[in-house]
Amino acid sequence: MTSTSLMMIILVILPFYSWCATPTVAANLSPANIDGLKAQFQTAMKSFSDVASIHYTLAGIKELGVVPPDTYCNDIKKLVDKSDVESIFHATEAARALANCKLPAEEYRALLTSTLQSDKSTTAEVYYAVRASVNLGLNVDESRVEKRLNALAKTDDSVASQGYALLTGAQLSQPIAKFYADTINDLVQQADEVDGRTLQYEGGVGTTALLVNAFYEVAEKAGVPVKIDPKQLIKFASYFSTKRHVATLRSAYYLTKVFKYLSDRKNTIPVVVSRTTPAAVSAQNPSVFVSVSNLFGQPVGEIFVVAESAKRKEDGAVVISKQKLTAKDSTSSIFELPFYDAKIPRGFYTIHLTLTPRGDEKLIGLTDNTIEVKVTSEAALENAELNVADRDSTAQAKTHKLTYPNALSEKLDLHSHQKLIIKFQVKDKRTGEYVRTQQAFIRFTNKKSKKEIIYLAEAVSGATAQYKAEMDLTSNAADFRYQSGAYDLVVIVGDSLLQNAFEWKVNDNVQLTFHEDSLADKNHQDLYLPRPEIIHQFRVEEKRPPTIVSLVFSGLTLLPLLILLVSWLRLGFNLSGMPLGLSPLVFHASHGAAFALMFVYWKYLDMFQTIRYLALISIPLFLAGHRVLAILAARREKKV
Amino acid sequence: MSQVGQVVGILRKLNGEYQSSTPKKLKLIDAYLVYVLLTGIVQFAYCLLVGTFPFNSFLSGFISTVGCFVLAASLRIQLNKANQSVFNVSPERAFADFVFAHIILHLVVVNFIG
């Protein structure tokens, strides 16, 4: 009834909607973004700037089943840096991905040998040299390499170094490979667990993928299965499956290799379970379709899927128990679960699925798979009516019965002493009960300015759930900024569990007449325009009297001086007794100088300078003055 | 009516006494005192008329008149032979003090006048 901020409502509704829109946080894995990886490689193939990119792209796309043309051989030869063992490594790997690309082995032999013999090469460099030598068909001194790796294991214990050691071991003989394969578990323990759901290594997806890839490579060479605890393997798989887009080609390449290993029938395969139908279950989409595959999106063999339970989010009510899903195709990759049923009420549901493989496939991730769905129903607006009542007396209410979707044909004229009330009910067509919805508003749109004023319709509690929205032309006039005129009136009803939403134009000519004068709309655009400039105003000077006045008074001040002179003359002032001589002269001169100094001080000097000058003048002043006064005193003594 | 007449009579007597018994030197100083007083009154009237801006100038001018008045009055007291029992200074010494004090006063006034 009251005008509430639309934003507040949206903030309440938004969590509900966003829940439906975004994938939920489940233990489920999702299929790898194979197409994305392929596209990344294909884009990179258009132009190469360094030999590492060639390596990752060509080798990567070969893993995905596309054989790159041999023309890239020239690019490899052009971009390789013969003085860098890593560069040589990338070049040989890239050449390996092509059908027919031979690199000049003799040119690299010296550097590779020296790298392997040096005491300063890092584990990565050792790996590059060994692998490049193997690729080129050069001999490798295995015992020397083994010694070097052992020495490095003592000094460099970072996971990356250990990974490279594993990769190097995979290039050497089987016993050495087996030795390294036994260290896989130690390395797995060094991984970081995040949120209890994923495992990763420091360094991001590239390093993690490189390491997991190393596990598989060395185990393959050793002829043993990769010994990783299934729970931890699922966590690794979980980490990788969340990487939909990777930034670098290196990450993309190793990620591709990891997905391939994790989908290889020889190894333990994590199973991916995901919903293929939209989240909303309704009469039109009564079933939930689930896909079961490996990370590559391929089927995993014959498998049985059972829905253990389907719990409603609101109250935890369980609606399904141990229901089998039917396979829709022969490869057992799509399963159907009929969900739309009279016994299943509206709501958000979490379905727990358990998978059981038929054979002895090495599958993991068979439990703890959840699917989120929502059961919606169709709704109808019923018993809608529009009342025009007087503010003060509720007795005389003019009622118009409304039927969705018909609009009210007559023009509504409302004045400031009236109020408008809209009532309606929302019925669930399936169950016949009256429901409350997340959104129920009435909206007035000013036909001229297109401004919208929205009011909330509130439901009374109880089974009837009747919605009522009220607009009072006096108390709500400020919302309209007192702008009288023609308005559209629309009823809006919506809910995430309703199949259909309503935007029902009830009337398109509602004349509202407000008592007060209309105010202009607040222009919200102005917020970001420059504001009016603030011009600094200096302190206003105090008013001075006109110059004439001050001049007159200056004259008046000097007037008493005349009076003084006149009265002195009248009294008989004379200078007859003034002594003449040097001392009186000096006295009078220095006295005059002192007063002159005062004037100069006022106009030009500061206190310190004046004090100095005054000190200078006062010496003769006092000396002479003393002498003059002594003369006068002597004269007086003589007279007496 | 009679009160006014009494006051006028007293004033006339006072004036007569003053004219006859005061030495010339003191009369000169009295004239000076009247001059200073008048100057002070004019300044104050100006301030009342147009306001106190700039206040420091008004103050320094007014204080200057007040200071001159006080110094001249003290000179008069010291020169008055009737007071010789209280003050034991020679007229020359009084005059020297007068000049010295005036220099200080004028220094301060000019500093403050702005």
Domain boundary among A351, A375, A399: A375
3-state secondary structure of A342: coil
Regarding whether A170 and A63 lie in a shared domain, the answer is: yes
Regarding whether A410 and A370 lie in a shared domain, the answer is: no
Regarding whether A295 and A163 lie in a shared domain, the answer is: no
- Which value, in Å, is the radius of gyration of the alpha carbons in chain B? 18
What CATH number is given to the structural domain containing A413?
2.70.50
How many whole angstroms separate alpha carbon A481 and alpha carbon B50? Answer: 52
Q: Read off the pLDDT of residues A62-97 as tens digits, 9 standing for 90 and up.
A: 888 888 888 888 888 888 888 888 998 998 898 888
**Pairwise CB contact (< 8 Å): A636 & B91:** yes
Regarding whether A469 and A345 lie in a shared domain, the answer is: no
Asked if the structure places residue A442 within a domain, the reply is yes
Regarding whether A371 and A387 lie in a shared domain, the answer is: no
Which residues lie across from A198 on neighbouring strands?
A194
Q: Where are the domains of chain B?
A: 24-113
Regarding whether A306 and A255 lie in a shared domain, the answer is: no
Asked if the structure places residue A555 within a domain, the reply is no
Regarding whether A337 and A230 lie in a shared domain, the answer is: no
What CATH number is given to the structural domain containing A64?
1.50.10
Per-residue CA distances from B89 to A154, B24, B78 (Å): 108, 20, 7
**Pairwise CB contact (< 8 Å): B92 & A629:** yes
Q: Read off the pLDDT of residues B9-63 as tens digits, 9 standing for 90 and up.
A: 999 888 888 888 777 888 888 889 989 999 999 889 888 888 777 788 889 999 9
Regarding whether A511 and A363 lie in a shared domain, the answer is: no
Please check the confidence at residue A21 and state whether its pLDDT lies above 50: no
Among partner residues A568, A594, A633, which is closest to B103 by beta-carbon distance? A594
Q: In terms of CA atoms, which chain A residue is nearest residue B36?
A: A560
Band of residue A24 on the pLDDT scale cut at 50, 70, 90: very low
Residue A211 burial by CB count (10 A; 0-12/13-18/19+): exposed, middle or buried?
A: buried
Number of domains in chain A: 4
Amino acid at A85: V
Expressed as residue numbers, the domain containing A204 is 34-267
Percent over 70 (pLDDT), chain A: 94
Q: Read off the pLDDT of residues A132-177 as tens digits, 9 standing for 90 and up.
A: 888 888 888 888 888 888 888 888 888 888 889 999 889 888 888 8
How many whole angstroms separate alpha carbon A228 and alpha carbon B21? Answer: 133
What confidence score (pLDDT) does residue A431 get? 83
3-state secondary structure of B9: helix
Q: In terms of CA atoms, which chain A residue is nearest residue B43?
A: A557
Q: Read off the pLDDT of residues A557-590 as tens digits, 9 standing for 90 and up.
A: 888 888 888 888 887 777 766 777 788 888 888 8
Which residues lie across from A456 on neighbouring strands?
A441
Regarding whether A503 and A437 lie in a shared domain, the answer is: yes
Q: Once rounded to an integer, what is the mean pLDDT over residues A251-279?
A: 89
ipTM of the complex: 0.81
Residue A422 burial by CB count (10 A; 0-12/13-18/19+): exposed, middle or buried?
A: buried
What residue ranges in A69-194 does DSSP mark as E strands? 192-194
How many whole angstroms separate alpha carbon A91 and alpha carbon A97? Answer: 10
Band of residue A13 on the pLDDT scale cut at 50, 70, 90: low
Q: In terms of CA atoms, which chain A residue is nearest residue B41?
A: A557
Asked if the structure places residue A23 within a domain, the reply is no
**Pairwise CB contact (< 8 Å): B96 & A602:** no
Please check the confidence at residue A436 and state whether its pLDDT lies above 90: no
Regarding whether A192 and A170 lie in a shared domain, the answer is: yes
What confidence score (pLDDT) does residue A253 get? 93
What confidence score (pLDDT) does residue B63 get? 92
Q: Once rounded to an integer, what is the mean pLDDT over residues A4-26?
A: 48
Please check the confidence at residue A616 and state whether its pLDDT lies above 50: yes
Tell me, yes or no, if the pTM score tops 0.80.
no
A412-414 and A502-512 strand pairing: parallel
Q: Once rounded to an integer, what is the mean pLDDT over residues B74-87?
A: 79
Regarding whether A227 and A276 lie in a shared domain, the answer is: no
Among partner residues A545, A549, A602, which is closest to B113 by beta-carbon distance? A602
Q: Once rounded to an integer, what is the mean pLDDT over residues A451-474?
A: 87
How many whole angstroms separate alpha carbon A189 and alpha carbon A180? Answer: 15
Q: Once rounded to an integer, what is the mean pLDDT over residues A430-458?
A: 89
Asked if the structure places residue A342 within a domain, the reply is yes
Please check the confidence at residue B79 and state whether its pLDDT lies above 90: no
Percent over 90 (pLDDT), chain A: 7
What CATH number is given to the structural domain containing A350?
2.60.40.1080
Asked if the structure places residue A1 within a domain, the reply is no
Asked if the structure places residue A27 within a domain, the reply is no
Q: Read off the pLDDT of residues A475-525 as tens digits, 9 standing for 90 and up.
A: 888 888 888 888 999 999 999 888 888 898 888 888 888 888 877 777 666
- The B-side interface with A (CB below 8 A) comprises 24, 27-28, 31-32, 34-36, 38-39, 42-43, 45-46, 49-51, 53, 90-93, 95-96, 99, 103, 106-107, 110-111, 113
